[in-house]
Structure formats: C-alpha cells, structure tokens
C-alpha cells in the first residue's frame, strides 16, 4: 500500500509540473479562444473543445530531453525508496557491519555472521574486535578526525584470516558508520609461497655456483700446474653444472604446468605400454643401484584419458625415486590394478620400494617444493627437491591424486589413482 501511495504521489507531482511549465501557453490560448468567441459568435461546444485541446498541449513537455530527465529521476527515486540498508548490506559479498556513534552494532550482513559469529545488534564493536589497530580505526572514524580509513587486521579464530578493513560514515548526519572486511588471506598465502619459492630456488642455485666459483679460483691458482687436481675439480664442476641444469629444467616444467589449464579428457593413454617404456628407460639406473624392477599388471585393457608425455614424467619421477632411495631393499614393485569400487571407476598404479621408508611426520609435506626428508641423501642422489611437486601438479591436471604409505624400515608405496573414464 505504501508503494502504491508513493507512485500516485509521484504521478500527481509530474502532472502538476507539466501544467505549471505550460501555464503561459495555456493562458494565451484560452484568451485567444475567448476573443474569437466574443467577436465571431462561435458555439460554446467549439470553445470547450478548443480549451480541451489547449489543455492537452500544455500537458506535453516543452522538450524531449527535459521529459526524459524528469522521467528517469522519478523512476530512480521510486526504486531507491523501496531499498533499505538491510537489502544493500545483504547484497555485499564481503563481511559488512553497520554501527552507530557509540560503536554499537546496528546491523551485520550474513557474510559477517559467517566470518566472525556471535555478532548481534547491540553488541559493542570494541569488545568484539580488541586488536589495537581495530580500536584505532574505530576511534579515528567516530571522533571525526578522518572521514574514512583502512587498516590490516588478522582474525585468529576459528581459523586465521587476514582482512583489509575499511571504515567510513554512512550518508550525511545519520550518525551511522560502516565497516567492510575484504579478505586478503589467499593473496597473502600466494605472496608467501612466491617469496619462499624464490628464496629456495636462489639457495639451490647459489650452492653449486659457489662450488664452481671456488674450483675455478683454485684451478687458476694453486692447482694451475697439477693435472690430477685439475681433472678432479673439472669433474666436480661438471657435476655441479649438471645439477643446475636439472634444477632449471624442473623449474621450467613446474612453471609450464602451473600455467596450463586443467586437462580435458580427449586422448587415451595405454598405461601398460607407458609404464613399460618408463621401466626400460630406467633399466640402467636400476642396475647401477643394484635394484630389480618387478611388474604386476592386471588383465584386460588399462587405458586412461590423459597426456602420455606428462604421465610418463609422473611414473619416471616416482620410479626413479624408488630406485635411488629404496636401494637397500634390492627391489621395486610396479603394480597396476582396478581402483576402488564406486560411481567413477579408476585405475591404481603403485610403485613400492623396500628401502628405509619415510617417517610419518614427513609424509604430509613431501610434495612441497624443495622439501626433502634427508637433504644430504637427496643431493647425493642428484635430486632437485621438485620431482614430487611436479608429480602432484600433473595429477591435478588429470583429475587424479597421489597417496603415500610408508613405514620406517619397511619401504614406501606411492599410489597414483587415475580416473578410467
């Protein structure tokens, strides 16, 4: 009912405005008709008809632009009058809190309830947000020293979240203020990952560079005329440059994988043929480490959708690690079997070694970039610390996953779960 009354009032105001704008035209027309009636003896019906025409003409706008502006303004005013602060707050995806001059909450949207909980009208903001930066933000806005301000705020519970909080007054002379919390947690996490990645990559490259630089200095000085030392140092330098080359190759592979979108199932990959190729290519490494590679394949077709080169890289990394770090066990088993029963059947490929195994506390972090269970052993085996991170990224692109089971002294098993369709 209130909306109907408002619209009727707006219409009446618009009609009155049009009559007022055309008042001189209407008056002049009526005078002219009256004069003609007096001098020419016109019928009273003709006079009334002429007045009606003049009245309709007066209702027409004096200009098309004026009519459009007035019409748009009337529609806008009518629409905004139907909006409330509650509706506007609900339309904001970020947590939003409206409070008064006493720093008491007047309204909070659903996002604020989900983020902070325990928020209700009448609650004191300084009691809810006790951090010094939030207290300073509220004091500055409420005192009127600043019209708006923003600070960084970290919420510790239930999980740690980082926000950019902005505060400002609402309207003019309303004595209401608003807090908007912009979640920066994901941005901060990515920044930390980027900084850690750069630091780790720099460290990994700096070590062989320092070694090469030291040997070059020695060859140009004390070992200048020592053929035996020169041969030994050149071999070490070659090994270090090879290590840097492998690290750069892995960094480029990881970068390319991160830039690629998720793989759309298209081509089929024969797992039996792909894994046989991996085993053949790593045969010399297995013999060098005294490891025998055993096969245990399920019967029937073993095809999965995916990219053959990328899956080859996955199994090559896993089998190479098994041959290097599971060397004391003397053998590595590669098995292919049907996945767990369910609405989406799959195929599981397990590469198991019988070496020293991996302590349980290391398993959750083993696929992180540059994370090593044993740094010295990894460098001795010419590892870059990026192999399992590359495996994880490739499997994510294939909508697959990696599970790791290990027991100290009994080896480790890495299982790749691939969708079959």
Q: DSSP 3-state assignment of 168? A: strand
Give the tens place of pLDDT for each residue, 333-354.
Answer: 999 987 655 556 788 999 999 8
CA 406 to chain centre: 33
Domains observed in the chain: 2-81 (no CATH), 85-183 (3.30.450.20), 202-259 (1.10.287.130), 268-419 (3.30.565.10)
**Crossing angle of the two packed helices 44-59 and 2-21, in degrees rounded to 10:** 110
Stretch among 91-95, 180-184, 275-279 having the lowest mean pLDDT: 91-95
Stretch among 49-53, 227-231, 334-338, 393-397 having the lowest mean pLDDT: 49-53
Q: DSSP 3-state assignment of 401? A: strand
What is the value of pTM for the model shown?
0.55
pLDDT tier for residue 39 given thresholds of 50, 70 and 90: very low
Report, as an integer, the average pLDDT of 25-49. Answer: 50
Is residue 243 within a helix (H) or strand (E), and if so which, with residue range?
helix 227-259
Report, as an integer, the average pLDDT of 47-66. Answer: 51
CA pair distance 32, 20, nearest whole angstrom: 19
pLDDT value at 65 more than 80: no
Q: DSSP 3-state assignment of 310? A: helix
Give the tens place of pLDDT for each residue, 142-189.
Answer: 888 777 889 999 887 777 889 999 999 887 778 889 999 999 888 888
> What is the predicted pLDDT for the residue at 14?
53
Residue 158 to residues 13, 114, 133, 134, 161, Cα–Cα distance (Å): 55, 11, 20, 18, 9
Nearest of 416, 299, 400 to residue 349 by alpha carbon: 416
Cβ(351)–Cβ(337) below 8 Å: no
Strand-strand pairing, 161-169 and 148-155: antiparallel
CA pair distance 316, 310, nearest whole angstrom: 10
CA pair distance 42, 47, nearest whole angstrom: 7
Residue 208: both structure tokens together: 């062989």
> What is the predicted pLDDT for the residue at 87?
73
């Amino acid at each position: 009912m209130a909306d109907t009354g408002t619209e009727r009032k707006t219409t009446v105001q618009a009609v009155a405005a049009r009559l007022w704008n055309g008042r001189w035209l209407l008056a002049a027309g009526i005078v002219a008709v009256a004069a003609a009636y007096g001098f020419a003896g016109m019928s009273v019906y003709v006079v009334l008809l002429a007045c009606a025409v003049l009245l309709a003409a007066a209702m027409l706008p004096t200009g098309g632009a004026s009519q459009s502006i007035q019409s748009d303004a009337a529609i806008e005013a009518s629409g905004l009058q139907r909006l409330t602060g509650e509706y506007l707050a609900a339309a904001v995806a970020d947590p939003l809190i409206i409070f008064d001059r006493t720093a008491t909450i007047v309204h909070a949207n659903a996002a604020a309830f989900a983020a902070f909980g325990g928020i209700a009208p009448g609650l004191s903001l300084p009691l809810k947000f006790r951090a010094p930066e939030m207290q300073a933000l509220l004091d500055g806005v409420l005192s009127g020293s600043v019209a708006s301000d923003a600070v960084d705020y970290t919420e510790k519970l239930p999980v740690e979240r980082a926000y950019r909080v902005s505060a400002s007054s609402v309207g003019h002379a309303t004595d209401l203020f608003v807090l908007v919390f912009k979640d920066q947690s994901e941005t901060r996490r990515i920044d930390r990952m980027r900084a850690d990645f750069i630091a780790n990559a720099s460290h990994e490259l700096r070590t062989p560079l320092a070694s090469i630089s030291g040997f070059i200095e020695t060859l140009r000085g004390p070992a200048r005329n020592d053929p035996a030392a020169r041969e030994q140092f050149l071999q070490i330098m070659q090994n270090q440059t090879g290590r840097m080359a492998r690290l750069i190759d892995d960094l480029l592979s990881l970068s390319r994988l991160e830039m690629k979108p998720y793989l759309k199932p298209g081509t089929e990959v024969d797992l039996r043929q792909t894994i046989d190729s991996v085993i053949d290519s790593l045969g010399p490494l297995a013999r060098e480490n005294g490891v025998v590679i055993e096969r245990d394949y399920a019967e029937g077709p073993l095809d999965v959708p995916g990219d053959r080169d990328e899956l080859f890289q996955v199994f090559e990394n896993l089998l190479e690690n098994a041959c290097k770090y599971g060397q004391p066990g003397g053998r590595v088993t590669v098995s292919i079997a049907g996945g767990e029963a369910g609405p989406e059947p799959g195929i599981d490929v397990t590469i198991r070694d019988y070496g020293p195994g991996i302590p349980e506390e290391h398993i959750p972090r083993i696929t992180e970039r540059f994370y090593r269970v044993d740094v010295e052993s990894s460098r001795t085996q010419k590892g870059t610390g990026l192999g399992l991170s590359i495996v994880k990224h490739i499997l994510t692109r294939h909508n697959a996953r990696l599970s790791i089971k290990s027991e100290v002294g009994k080896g480790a098993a890495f299982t790749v779960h691939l969708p079959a369709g």
